[in-house]
Structure 1
Amino acid sequence: MAMAQDSSSSSLLRALDTAIVTPSGPPLPPSCLPLTFLDLQWIHSPPVERIFFYRIASTRDATDHLISDLKRSLSTALRVYVPLAGHLRVTHGCTTAATRHDIVYEPGDGVAFTVAEYDGADLGDLASDHQPRPVSELARLVPRLHPAVGDYGAALLAVQATVLQPHGNLALGVTVHHAACDGVGSTGFLHTWEAACSGAVESLPPPPVIDRTLVVEPVEGLYEHYTRNLPSTDEIEFVKMSPDQLLATFTLSGEQLQRVKDAVDGEAARRGSQTPPRCSTLVAALGFVWSCYLRVKTETSDGAREPESPTYFIVPVDHRPWMKPPVPATYFGNCIGPAIGAATKRDLYSAGAGGLFTACSAGIARAVASPEWETMVERVKEVGARGVLSVAGSPRLRVYGVDFGFGPPAKVEIVSVARTGAMAVAEMRGQGGGVEVGMSLPLAGMAAFRSCFDDAVAWLASSHSTSYSC
C-alpha cells in the first residue's frame, strides 16, 4: 500500500479517471505461476514505488494524446509481461508449510491506470537534487495497489499519470509488488513499455523468461522454511516514518568515486595490505554514503556510547549467474538475495580514509560472498531489529533510459525507501560513471546528513591531509 496522503493538502490532487488496462491482442488463457523461495522474501514488503518526472510543458490536448499512448503501449507491454496483469493469491493449507503463494492471471485481468492533476507543483523543485521534498507530497504521485478482496488476490502493478499544473509536466508513478519480480524484472518491463510507446516495436528488449521452475532450491525445504519464518511487514519496515519525513538526492560523479577508490587503496597500502581491496564504482558509492550515514546516526543518537557494537548494511546481489544451474539474465521473478555487511561503529566512524576503508572493503565487498540460504530470513530479522541501512535499485537498471518518446526523465525517485530505510541508487543523469543516491530522513537528520555529505565531498577534493568532521 502506498504511504498515507497528507489530508491538509490532498485537495491539490484530483483523480480524473481510473481505467483497467488489459493485455493487448486475443484473450489469453488462464495461468498460475507459483512463487519461489526467493519471491517469498518479499511477500510482506512494502511495494516498490517509483516516480518518473518528465518535462512535457504541453497543452491539454497534447497531454491527453500522450496519456492515450501510454495506455495503449502499456497494453502491449502487458502482453509480454502477462503476470503483472494478474494478482497474488494465497492458498492456505492445513499447516503453515502447506500454504502456497501463486501469481494468477485470468481473462479480463489488468492494471489500474489512474489519470490525475496536481495543482501548484513545480517540476524544478520536485526533480531537484539536494533539495529535500516532503515524502507526504511525493506519495500522492504514486498509486496504491488494490489489496486482496475475498478470494481475489492482491494486485501486482498500478500506474498513475499525474499532470503537474500549471506547466503541464508529467509525473508517472509506477507501483510494483516486490513478490512479483526484482528490479531486473520491473525495469525490463518498463523498457519494453517505453519502446512500445516510442514506436520502437521492432526493437523491443528481449522478452522475459517466465518460468519459476528455473530457480532450483540450493538446499531442500527452503520454501517451507521461508514460509514458516517470513518476516512481518513491521520487521521489514526498518524505520518508522516521522511526520516531517523528507526525501532528497545526493550525487557522486565518476571523478569523485575514483577519489574514493584512491583513498581506500591508499589506506590499504598504509595498513600494509598485500592484496588491494576490490572497490568497484558501486561499492565506492555505497561505502561513502554508509560512512556518512553512520557518522550522522552516531552523533544524533545514543550509538556514540556503544562504539564496539556492530552496524549493518544490506545490499541486494543478483544471483542469476551464480545459481546452479545458472538462471537466464532475462528471468522474470526474484533472483536477488540480501548480502549483509557488518562493521563496528568505531571503525566505520573513523574520520577520512579509515572509515571509507572499513565501509568499502571490510563491510560491503566482503558481504557479497556465498549466501547462507538456510539462515537468511533470521539474519535479516536480526539486523533489522538492531538497525540497518539497505539498498534499493542499481545503476545497472538504467532508469534514466525510460524514454516514452518525449525525452528521458528529468528525475526518478523511489519513494518507498521512506518506509524501508533504504538508500535509492541509480545511475547519474547525463554523466557516465556517476551514481545518485536518494535518502529519506526526518528534517533534523536530513540537515545533518547533507552537512556531513558535503564535508566528505570537500575532503575528497582536498589533499586528504586533514580529516573531515560531521
Structure 2
Amino acid sequence: MAVSPDQQQPPAGVGSPLPSPRLRVRVRDTTLVPPSPSPPETSLPLTFLDIFWLHSPPVERLFIYRLAPDADVDAIISRLRDSLHQAVRAFYPLAGRLRLTPGTSDRYELHYRPGDAVTFTVAECDDDDADAHFDALATDEPREVAKIATLVPPLPERGGLFAVQATLLPARRGLSIGVTVHHAACDGSGSTHFLHTWAVACRAGAEAPPPPPPVIDRSLIADPRRMYDVFIQGAPSTEEYEFVKMSADQLFATFALSKDELKRIKDAVAEEAARRGVAPPRCSSLVATFGFVWSCYQQAKEASSGAGEFPMTCMAFPVDHRSRMEPPLPDKYLGNCVGPAFALAPTGELAQAGAGGFFSACAAVASSIDEAVRDIETSNVEVWFDRIRDLIPMGFLTVAGSPRFRVYDMDFGFGRPAKVDVVSVARTGAVAVAESWDGNGGIEVGVSLQPAAMKRYRKCFADAIAWLHQRT
C-alpha cells in the first residue's frame, strides 16, 4: 500500500492527458475453468504473512501481445482456456474461495472444493483504427487508467481469488491477458509462478520444461509469536489500503532505466560517498532503481508544493523472506512470504537534484533492506502496521512487482508480450517494477499520477537522466 505524493486535483488546463482513444470492450462469454482432474476438498489456513494482505486491493496485471496478421485467434483462445485447466490443477487453491474458518470469528482460510474454478472471460474491442489503439496501449507514454482498466477482470464475488480476461484488441491485431489475484492467496512470486506454468502449458510442443510445481503447505510458516492475532486485530480496512482516490483523468506511464544508466547511478552514488568520506551503500541495480525513482518522485512533489511539511520521507517495498525463514521455505512456496522494508531519508536531501539526492535515497534503501532481513524473526514484525500508520501522514511511496518475476518471458505461444503493466498501482499509489522489455539488464518502472503531477515527474525523470549522461 502507498500514499501518492501528489494526488491533488490539478488546475484546469494544466498538464492535460495525452490524446488516448477509448476502448469499446464487449464481453463475449465467461466460463469457469476448474482444475482437471479435480483434487479433493482442501482448506489452507491463512498465515500471519497472508493475513497482512486480507483487506488489500487485488493485484491486477495486464499483458499485451501483438498477433501475426494470419493468427488463428479462435484457436489461440481455445488453447489458452484448455491449458488453463492444466495450470489450475497444480495451483488448485487459486480456484477456491477465501472464507472464515467455520466455527471461528477471526480465522480465515482458502477453501477449495470440487467444482470450484477460475473465471475465464473472453472479450473483444470493436474499433476501426486497430494500429492506433494497439500503439496507444503498448507504449511507455502516459495512458488513461480508465482505458486499460477495462482489460482486467474483477474478482468473483463471495471470496473469489483469481480471474482471467483475454481481450481481442481492435481488428484482432493484438491480444491482452488481464489477470487479477487476491493478495491474501499468494504474493507476486506465487502468482507469476502460476502464469509461467500456464504459459508453458499453452505453448504446444514447447521445448522448455515446465516450471517446478508449487509447494502448497501453509504449515511451513511457524508462528511462535502469535503474529496472526496481532495482525488480524490491526489489519487496515480496504479503505485504508486504497489511499489514492483516482480521478477520471488518472494516467499511467512507464519509465525505463537501461543497464548503462543503472551503472551510472551506482557510479554517482559511489563518488558521492567518497566525496563525503563515508562507506558507499551496497548499491545493486534494484537499489539504484528504487533510489533514482524515489528521488525523482520527491523532486516532483517539492516542485509542486515547495518545502515539505515533514522533515523525513519514506519508501516502503517488499522483501522476499523465503530463504530467510527458519527453517528456509522452498523457493516455490505458494502463499505470502514477503515483508515490508521501510526506507527513511531527510526530505530536503532526497529532493536534491543530482548525486546528493541519489546518494541519500540509495543509502536509505540499502539500509532498510538490511534492517528488514534482520527483523523477520524478531519482535519488530509486530509493529509493521504501527509503522505504516505512523508514516501515512507524511505520504510514502511503495513498490509492486520485481525484475525477478521475468514478466516479459511470459510467452503463451504467440510471442513475448509487447507491454506488461500492474494496473492496480493506480489505486494504491505504488510504482510497478519489472525487468526491461529488451532483456538487456535494464529495469522499467510504472507510475500512475494525475496529469499535472505526471508532467512534473516526467520532467524530473528526464532531467535526471540527462544529468547522468552529462557527468561522464
TM over 0.5: yes
Aligned residue type for 1:225? V
Paired residue secondary structure (2:471): coil
| Equivalent pair of 1:231/1:381 in contact (CA under 8 Å) | no
Paired residue secondary structure (2:171): coil
Alignment of 1:359-398 (within 5 A): 359-369=361-371, 370-371=374-375, 372-398=380-406
Alignment of 1:189-268 (within 5 A): 189-199=194-204, 200=206, 203-217=209-223, 219-268=224-273
1:42–1:305 CA distance, 2 compared to 1 (3 A): closer
Show CA shifts across 1:302-332 (max 9, x none).
x6153x5211101100000111111111100
Show CA shifts across 1:118-164 (max 9, x none).
123621110111x111000010000000121xxxxx11100000000
| Equivalent pair of 1:162/1:170 in contact (CA under 8 Å) | yes
| Equivalent pair of 2:308/2:347 in contact (CA under 8 Å) | no
| Equivalent pair of 1:279/1:365 in contact (CA under 8 Å) | no
* 2:461 alignment partner, one of 432, 453, 460: 453
Q: Partners of 2:405 and 2:61 in 1: how far apart?
A: 13
Which runs of 5 or more structure 2 residues have no equivalent in the other structure?
A: 1-20
Aligned residue type for 2:395? G
| Equivalent pair of 2:23/2:147 in contact (CA under 8 Å) | no
Q: Partners of 1:367 and 1:321 in 2: how far apart?
A: 14
Question: Which residue number corresponds to residue 63 of structure 1?
Answer: 73
Paired residue secondary structure (1:424): strand
* 1:304 alignment partner, one of 303, 307, 312: 307
Q: Partners of 1:364 and 1:139 in 2: how far apart?
A: 34
* 1:54 alignment partner, one of 57, 65, 82: 65
Q: Partners of 1:118 and 1:443 in 2: how far apart?
A: 26
**How far did residue 10 of structure 1 move?**
8.3
Paired residue secondary structure (2:324): coil
Q: Partners of 2:408 and 2:287 in 1: how far apart?
A: 20
Show CA shifts across 1:92-114 (max 9, x none).
767xxx51110000110001100
**How far did residue 74 of structure 1 move?**
0.5
| Equivalent pair of 1:18/1:114 in contact (CA under 8 Å) | yes
Question: Which residue number corresponds to residue 44 of structure 2?
Answer: 33
Paired residue secondary structure (2:61): strand
Greater relative contact order (Cα 8 A, min sep 6): structure 1 or 2?
2
| Equivalent pair of 1:294/1:349 in contact (CA under 8 Å) | yes
Show CA shifts across 1:158-214 (max 9, x none).
000000012431011000111000011001000100000003388110111100011
* 2:336 alignment partner, one of 326, 334, 337: 334
* 1:73 alignment partner, one of 55, 72, 83: 83
Question: Which residue number corresponds to residue 315 of structure 1?
Answer: 317
**How far did residue 86 of structure 1 move?**
0.6
Question: Which residue number corresponds to residue 187 of structure 1?
Answer: 192
The more displaced of 241-250 and 390-399 is 241-250
Paired residue secondary structure (1:140): helix
| Equivalent pair of 2:290/2:365 in contact (CA under 8 Å) | no
Question: Which residue number corresponds to residue 119 of structure 1?
Answer: 126
Alignment of 1:22-171 (within 5 A): 22-25=34-37, 27-58=38-69, 62-91=72-101, 98-120=105-127, 122-129=133-140, 131-148=141-158, 154-171=159-176
Paired residue secondary structure (1:33): strand
Answer yes or no: is 1:293 the counterpart of 2:294.
no
**How far did residue 78 of structure 1 move?**
0.5
**How far did residue 236 of structure 1 move?**
1.4
Question: Which residue number corresponds to residue 426 of structure 2?
Answer: 418
Q: Partners of 1:115 and 1:208 in 2: how far apart?
A: 27
Paired residue secondary structure (1:453): helix
| Equivalent pair of 2:46/2:110 in contact (CA under 8 Å) | yes
Aligned residue type for 2:93? P
Q: Partners of 1:202 and 1:365 in 2: how far apart?
A: 39
Q: Partners of 1:175 and 1:22 in 2: how far apart?
A: 17
Q: Partners of 1:305 and 1:340 in 2: how far apart?
A: 19
* 2:452 alignment partner, one of 426, 429, 444: 444
Aligned residue type for 2:442? G
Show CA shifts across 1:241-292 (max 9, x none).
122110000100000000000000000000001x321000001011100000
| Equivalent pair of 1:195/1:201 in contact (CA under 8 Å) | no
Q: Partners of 1:455 and 1:335 in 2: how far apart?
A: 37
Alignment of 1:12-31 (within 5 A): 12-25=24-37, 27-31=38-42
Normalised by the length of structure 2, the TM-score is 0.90
Aligned residue type for 2:121? T
| Equivalent pair of 1:57/1:167 in contact (CA under 8 Å) | no
Show CA shifts across 1:405-453 (max 9, x none).
1100000010000011110000001232100000000011111111110
Q: Partners of 2:97 and 2:45 in 1: how far apart?
A: 12
Normalised by the length of structure 1, the TM-score is 0.91
Q: Partners of 1:116 and 1:10 in 2: how far apart?
A: 15
Aligned residue type for 1:40? I
Question: Which residue number corresponds to residue 3 of structure 1?
Answer: none
Paired residue secondary structure (1:166): helix
Question: Which residue number corresponds to residue 17 of structure 2?
Answer: none
- Aligned Cα root-mean-square deviation (Å): 1.7
| Equivalent pair of 2:287/2:365 in contact (CA under 8 Å) | no
Aligned residue type for 2:337? C
Q: Partners of 1:116 and 1:197 in 2: how far apart?
A: 19
Number of residue pairs matched by the alignment: 441
Question: Which residue number corresponds to residue 11 of structure 2?
Answer: none
| Equivalent pair of 2:319/2:369 in contact (CA under 8 Å) | no
